[in-house]
Amino acid sequence: MAKVGAQRAAELTGKSKSTIQRAMNTGKLSYEMDSNNRRIIDVSELERVYGLSGSSSSSSSGGMNSQTTVEAELKKATDMIEMERMKMKIKMLEDQLETSNTSMEDLRAQRDQWQKQAQQVLITSQYSQKQAEEYKAELKSREEAARKRREEREKIMGNRMNKMQGQNENRNTSEAGLKRPNTSTNTERSNKQDRERVLTEENAKKHDLKELLDFQGLWKKIKGEKAA
């Protein structure tokens, strides 16, 4: 129910303001204190104690309807504010969801790019390994070819050396056949040189033996002097 002040209560009941105030002072009318520290009376309390006149009832009903309308408007405004707040919250959540979706799309794009780069690196590595194997096989083939060429050259050089040696032997034989009358002279000269070399070696041995005997005699002499 609506609550009114002393003046409005007097108008609703057809009583004077002083009558209403005395009734409140004596406790005949119950009242409340509003936020401005004024005494207010519930309309139902006025109707119980004094009754309401027709015009007062209609005015009271009009006041009640007006208050109801105000309360309805307040509730409507509150609901609208709450609705706007919910709309703002929904909009904020939608923005966050869109940002999250955008971030996920960026992450997917980065993942796809990394996978592509990894595949390219793998392909490049495999190609490099294949090139290394081919280069290694080529080096081995070159080394084998060089070894064969070296063996072939050595074989050719060996054949040439053998041929040259055979030619030298044939030439020496031919020269020996041409110088055959001087063979005995060369043999005598060689025998003489051998005899001289043997005599020199024997003389050297005798000289060494003599020195050894002289040293032994000197050593015995030194030992005898020490004993004396």
Strand order, beta sheet including 39-42: 3-4, 39-42, 32-33
Query: At residue 186, what is the residue type?
Result: N
Assess if residue 167 is contained within a domain.
no
Assess if residue 43 is contained within a domain.
yes
pLDDT of residue 90: 93
**Count of other CB atoms within 10 angstroms of residue 67:** 13
Q: If the chain, 228 residues long, is cut into consecutive pieces of 10 residues, what is the mean pLDDT of each piece?
A: 84 88 89 88 86 56 61 79 88 90 88 87 78 82 86 82 75 60 60 73 71 68 62
* 178: helix, strand or coil: helix
Q: How far is CA 189 from CA 152, 172, 201, 203, in A?
A: 47, 20, 19, 21
Q: Specify whether the CB–CB gap between 40 and 31 falls below 8 A.
A: yes
Assess if residue 40 is contained within a domain.
yes
Q: Where are the beta strands (DSSP E) in the chain?
A: 3-4, 32-33, 39-42
Assess if residue 103 is contained within a domain.
no
Assess if residue 165 is contained within a domain.
no
Q: Determine the structural domain holding residue 37 and report its residue range.
A: 3-52
**Can you tell me the distance from the alpha carbon of 6 to that of 45, in angstroms, rounded to the nearest whole number?**
12
pLDDT of residue 190: 67
Q: Specify whether the CB–CB gap between 47 and 40 falls below 8 A.
A: no
pLDDT of residue 119: 83
Q: What is the DSSP letter of 32?
A: E
CB burial class (10 A; 0-12, 13-18, 19+) of residue 11?
middle
The continuous run of DSSP H or E covering 33 comes out as strand 32-33
Assess if residue 207 is contained within a domain.
no
Q: What are phi and psi of 41, to 5 degrees?
A: -125, 140
Number of domains in the chain: 1
Assess if residue 161 is contained within a domain.
no
Assess if residue 10 is contained within a domain.
yes
**Can you tell me the distance from the alpha carbon of 92 to that of 85, in angstroms, rounded to the nearest whole number?**
10
pLDDT of residue 176: 59
Longest dimension (CA), the chain: 191
